[in-house]
Chains A and B, each alone.
Chain A
């Protein structure tokens, strides 16, 4: 059975995950280990007038209680946002100071104020309760639309009116002119609900200081250990990079929430040095709700104009985004360069403008969550298309088709140059799979049972494979976004791939091995993947933005190119043939058209024994490459959701969900389907169930699974997933990235289906039974009038 590109290879890592042998951060126990518990603000906004730790310090097992003044006194730097976004008036964004432990002011419920170090976790937690913080309560802002009020309290001194930036993209005059020429204008007010990412494994950190070596080791639940080390060294001043090793072992899901370096990791490292103990902190689920960066939280007004031929002639979007109490690492880029840039969707729109204002509120910082900006853009775009089709009394698929981009590359007015795609084709595939022709009969049949049946589309595009470093830099990114790889062929021919990508559920140990097995035609068992350790892997930017395949694997391919060249040189030398006649196949390195051959392992051995290498060749068989893409990749898809709504209860049942995707070349269809299943499930969660709720005082009301509803098996239908491959020309494998598509494309498909079923377009996410029932009643009362 093939194990190469395109094969459904079972995941190599699943043996250990399904037999309880995974090694997660919390499984690690160091000698000399003590535990940290954080004292967190119970107020959303309050001055800290004093901290009395005397009772806690006197308790059993307590080693130390440390606060923000000690932390800043030791020179630990503030937490930064790494992407500079400039307001349209040219002013820089207003980044407020964020100390890992708050010093003078707490800005959200959960803001860390002090840390207790004790011999056991229980002792640390009990003592943390005994630390008395003297608060002077301040008025708080929980909702972004209240942050801009004239009498709103000020959260950061350097952000007057709580404004972080007021930014725009596109040409407003052109968009206005386009709308003025339109014969039909559709207007929509939309809220993109605030979400909590909820990876299965909560965040954990173990920091170990070695005073003899003045060296730190941090085990942590990170999606990008090298970026964490860079931040901890260069910005937070914990230790120079050569004195700091960051290890992210098995990590149980990230969804964006584990990209960032949080206050807890910084504090544990510093506290380890302070106490000369190994310090472990394990978040519980309550702390995860309180501190893991949230996602989404946009309020948008959008206007789209059409001409007589139903072509889009103008599109204007005005968005207000909530970034929470502090600017998290990528927070500024999510509602701007990862959002507005995708507002052309799959459509040929020339007159486009988007304005984005972001504000501070007294809530958990908001940052990238699976899809990051692109789900918000897709929701605006695809709710708009469906709504416009209804207003124009058109088939929603036909309105989309009329406006589809047909030729590639396509330059949008929003910076992006789409690489490749076939939008009509994937829409047709989805329509066939969803049996659109039979929908009318199904609707009638459902009506006979008293059910309202509806269907909704979402045809979307996303930008993946973050990103060309130079382009990202010109847009304000503080880092390059390339990836690195090392291909290490051992003397016996087995191969280790060291990659800067990080796997926390994606199955890299399988898919990365597949591309190597495919290239060198060797058994997949001979290939191992090494990642997640700054002492082993040269460098890496990590995994997020569906970048591991388009960027991380491309680096592996570049390194394999170098290995292959050297292998061919060695074989040509040994077999006395020309390099260009050497082929690699069937576990052998052969001279084409002859029976002269060496085993793959013999070449490896020859390279290391080095008794007979071509003149001037270095021994060994190990190559490193860095890959910096020339462009994003642009996966696209067509999703169709079919629902039945019970008009008496408002309960929505998703009957069928059809996903036709173009991910470019597919390495492992089974893993890709799994990514689509998981992404769509999270999107259905956003559409039907999930919502972070704060009360007006900034108290988090959804602090557990009793109040925050995650999708369960019963909420999810069977999926119909199909693929159409138009390879990306921007990387050697032609891959586009598949990790986020499901979460990006699905929410509008679900809401479009429900609003179609109930005949009321005025429905916000999450479409809970109560919300749907109310929308049905509103329709009835309008009908009665």
Chain B
């Protein structure tokens, strides 16, 4: 399924763009993210705890930034395996538009799961994915709203 959303962030587009490329910021904002380490400018490894329905598992995987078009947007994509729980993967196209001092962030995200997590939690995947996507951008929005003024 595709999920879409829009956030108005009280920070300049360059600031928002920098945060979107900051592994520490991403780690703080990705729900359940326990580890996120940069392996190159555009690649990271991640450890994320996910709970979908009755299945709770640690997903180890990779996060990659592609289609980079600074500072207008990129695609962030991730893929992880959770052992017997199966795998989860997703991506989000993120676009930033400057609007005066503020930035309008829009995203289109999708998620796929496989293995046991699909067999047991399928009814909950759409709602969980939506919740996780919104939580990420919510966190991101809050993060910038709190810290933004100090950085400028």
Q: Which residues of A contact B (CB under 8 A)?
A: 42-44, 109, 125, 128-130, 286, 289-290, 693, 695, 697, 699-704, 706-707
Contact B123 A697 (CB under 8 A): no
What B residues does A130 contact at CB under 8 A? 83
What B residues does A128 contact at CB under 8 A? 84
What A residues does B120 contact at CB under 8 A? 286, 703-704, 706-707
- Measured in the bound complex, the distance between the Cα atoms of B123 and A128 in whole Å is 27
Q: Would you call B116 an interface residue if the criterion is a C-beta within 8 Å of the partner chain's C-beta atoms?
A: yes
Known A-B contacts A129-B83, A129-B84, A707-B123; the reply to A286 vs B116 at CB < 8 A is yes
CB A125 to nearest CB in B, in angstroms, measures 8
What A residues does B116 contact at CB under 8 A? 42, 286, 703
Contact B119 A701 (CB under 8 A): yes
Q: Would you call B36 an interface residue if the criterion is a C-beta within 8 Å of the partner chain's C-beta atoms?
A: no
Contact B84 A290 (CB under 8 A): no
Contact A699 B118 (CB under 8 A): yes
CB B50 to nearest CB in A, in angstroms, measures 15
Q: Would you call B71 an interface residue if the criterion is a C-beta within 8 Å of the partner chain's C-beta atoms?
A: no
CB B66 to nearest CB in A, in angstroms, measures 17
Contact B114 A286 (CB under 8 A): no
CB B49 to nearest CB in A, in angstroms, measures 16
- Measured in the bound complex, the distance between the Cα atoms of B86 and A580 in whole Å is 73
Contact B112 A42 (CB under 8 A): no
Q: Would you call B74 an interface residue if the criterion is a C-beta within 8 Å of the partner chain's C-beta atoms?
A: no
What B residues does A699 contact at CB under 8 A? 113-115, 118-119, 122
Q: Would you call B87 an interface residue if the criterion is a C-beta within 8 Å of the partner chain's C-beta atoms?
A: yes
Q: When A and B form their complex, which 4 residue pairs have the shortest distance between CB atoms, in order from nearest?
A: A703-B119, A42-B115, A701-B122, A699-B118
- Measured in the bound complex, the distance between the Cα atoms of B86 and A109 in whole Å is 10
Contact B84 A700 (CB under 8 A): no
Q: Scoring B residues 114 to 134 as 1 if CB is less than 8 Å from chain A, else 0, what string do you get?
A: 111011101100000000000
> Which chain B residues (81-136) contact chain A, with CB distance < 8 Å?
81, 83-84, 86-87, 112-116, 118-120, 122-123
- Measured in the bound complex, the distance between the Cα atoms of B45 and A184 in whole Å is 67
- Measured in the bound complex, the distance between the Cα atoms of B122 and A700 in whole Å is 9
Q: Which residues of B contact A (CB under 8 A)?
A: 53-54, 81, 83-84, 86-87, 112-116, 118-120, 122-123
What A residues does B114 contact at CB under 8 A? 42-44, 109, 697, 699
- Measured in the bound complex, the distance between the Cα atoms of B122 and A567 in whole Å is 66
CB B27 to nearest CB in A, in angstroms, measures 25
CB A362 to nearest CB in B, in angstroms, measures 12
Of the candidates A129, A703, A706, the one whose C-beta lies within 8 Å of that of B118 is A703
- Measured in the bound complex, the distance between the Cα atoms of B123 and A433 in whole Å is 42
CB B58 to nearest CB in A, in angstroms, measures 11
CB A636 to nearest CB in B, in angstroms, measures 40
What A residues does B87 contact at CB under 8 A? 42-43
What B residues does A700 contact at CB under 8 A? 118-119
Q: Considering only CB atoms, which chain B residue lies closest to A701 in the complex?
A: B122
- Measured in the bound complex, the distance between the Cα atoms of B89 and A699 in whole Å is 13
Of the candidates B53, B84, B118, the one whose C-beta lies within 8 Å of that of A695 is B118
What A residues does B54 contact at CB under 8 A? 706
- Measured in the bound complex, the distance between the Cα atoms of B85 and A125 in whole Å is 12
Interface pairs (21), CB distance under 8 Å: A42-B114, A43-B87, A128-B84, A129-B83, A130-B83, A286-B119, A290-B119, A695-B118, A697-B112, A699-B113, A699-B114, A699-B119, A699-B122, A701-B119, A701-B122, A703-B116, A703-B118, A703-B119, A706-B53, A706-B123, A707-B119
Known A-B contacts A43-B114, A697-B112, A699-B113; the reply to A707 vs B84 at CB < 8 A is no
- Measured in the bound complex, the distance between the Cα atoms of B120 and A109 in whole Å is 13
- Measured in the bound complex, the distance between the Cα atoms of B112 and A704 in whole Å is 19
What A residues does B119 contact at CB under 8 A? 109, 286, 289-290, 699-704, 707
CB A727 to nearest CB in B, in angstroms, measures 48
Extra inter-chain contacts (10) besides given A42-B115, A695-B118, A701-B118, CB under 8 Å: A42-B86, A43-B87, A109-B115, A109-B118, A130-B83, A286-B119, A700-B118, A706-B120, A707-B122, A707-B123
What A residues does B112 contact at CB under 8 A? 697
- Measured in the bound complex, the distance between the Cα atoms of B84 and A290 in whole Å is 13
**Interface-centre pick from B84, B86, B119 (highest chain A CB count, 10 A):** B119
- Measured in the bound complex, the distance between the Cα atoms of B123 and A25 in whole Å is 34
What B residues does A707 contact at CB under 8 A? 119-120, 122-123
- Measured in the bound complex, the distance between the Cα atoms of B84 and A138 in whole Å is 20
Q: Considering only CB atoms, which chain A residue lies closest to B57 in the complex?
A: A129
- Measured in the bound complex, the distance between the Cα atoms of B7 and A32 in whole Å is 63
- Measured in the bound complex, the distance between the Cα atoms of B86 and A44 in whole Å is 12
- Measured in the bound complex, the distance between the Cα atoms of B81 and A129 in whole Å is 11
Q: Considering only CB atoms, which chain A residue lies closest to B118 in the complex?
A: A699
Q: Considering only CB atoms, which chain B residue lies closest to A39 in the complex?
A: B84
- Measured in the bound complex, the distance between the Cα atoms of B39 and A602 in whole Å is 90
CB B114 to nearest CB in A, in angstroms, measures 5
CB A505 to nearest CB in B, in angstroms, measures 27
CB B48 to nearest CB in A, in angstroms, measures 17
- Measured in the bound complex, the distance between the Cα atoms of B118 and A44 in whole Å is 12
- Measured in the bound complex, the distance between the Cα atoms of B119 and A706 in whole Å is 10
What A residues does B118 contact at CB under 8 A? 109, 695, 699-701, 703
Contact B83 A695 (CB under 8 A): no
- Measured in the bound complex, the distance between the Cα atoms of B119 and A682 in whole Å is 23
CB A380 to nearest CB in B, in angstroms, measures 30
CB B127 to nearest CB in A, in angstroms, measures 14
CB B38 to nearest CB in A, in angstroms, measures 23
Of the candidates A125, A286, A695, the one whose C-beta lies within 8 Å of that of B122 is A695
Q: Considering only CB atoms, which chain B residue lies closest to A708 in the complex?
A: B119
- Measured in the bound complex, the distance between the Cα atoms of B81 and A109 in whole Å is 15
Q: Considering only CB atoms, which chain B residue lies closest to A694 in the complex?
A: B118
CB B9 to nearest CB in A, in angstroms, measures 34
What B residues does A286 contact at CB under 8 A? 116, 119-120
Q: Considering only CB atoms, which chain B residue lies closest to A290 in the complex?
A: B119
What B residues does A703 contact at CB under 8 A? 116, 118-120, 122
- Measured in the bound complex, the distance between the Cα atoms of B114 and A697 in whole Å is 9
- Measured in the bound complex, the distance between the Cα atoms of B84 and A286 in whole Å is 12
Q: Considering only CB atoms, which chain B residue lies closest to A132 in the complex?
A: B81
CB A47 to nearest CB in B, in angstroms, measures 16
- Measured in the bound complex, the distance between the Cα atoms of B52 and A706 in whole Å is 14
- Measured in the bound complex, the distance between the Cα atoms of B81 and A501 in whole Å is 46
- Measured in the bound complex, the distance between the Cα atoms of B116 and A125 in whole Å is 14
Q: Considering only CB atoms, which chain A residue lies closest to B122 in the complex?
A: A701
Q: Considering only CB atoms, which chain A residue lies closest to B119 in the complex?
A: A703
- Measured in the bound complex, the distance between the Cα atoms of B53 and A289 in whole Å is 18
What A residues does B122 contact at CB under 8 A? 693, 695, 699, 701-703, 707
- Measured in the bound complex, the distance between the Cα atoms of B123 and A289 in whole Å is 17
- Measured in the bound complex, the distance between the Cα atoms of B119 and A707 in whole Å is 8
What B residues does A695 contact at CB under 8 A? 118, 122
What A residues does B86 contact at CB under 8 A? 42
What A residues does B83 contact at CB under 8 A? 129-130
Q: Considering only CB atoms, which chain B residue lies closest to A140 in the complex?
A: B114
CB B83 to nearest CB in A, in angstroms, measures 4
Q: Considering only CB atoms, which chain A residue lies closest to B84 in the complex?
A: A129
CB A273 to nearest CB in B, in angstroms, measures 27
What B residues does A125 contact at CB under 8 A? 84
What B residues does A697 contact at CB under 8 A? 112, 114
What A residues does B123 contact at CB under 8 A? 706-707
- Measured in the bound complex, the distance between the Cα atoms of B114 and A129 in whole Å is 15
Q: Considering only CB atoms, which chain B residue lies closest to A699 in the complex?
A: B118
- Measured in the bound complex, the distance between the Cα atoms of B87 and A290 in whole Å is 16
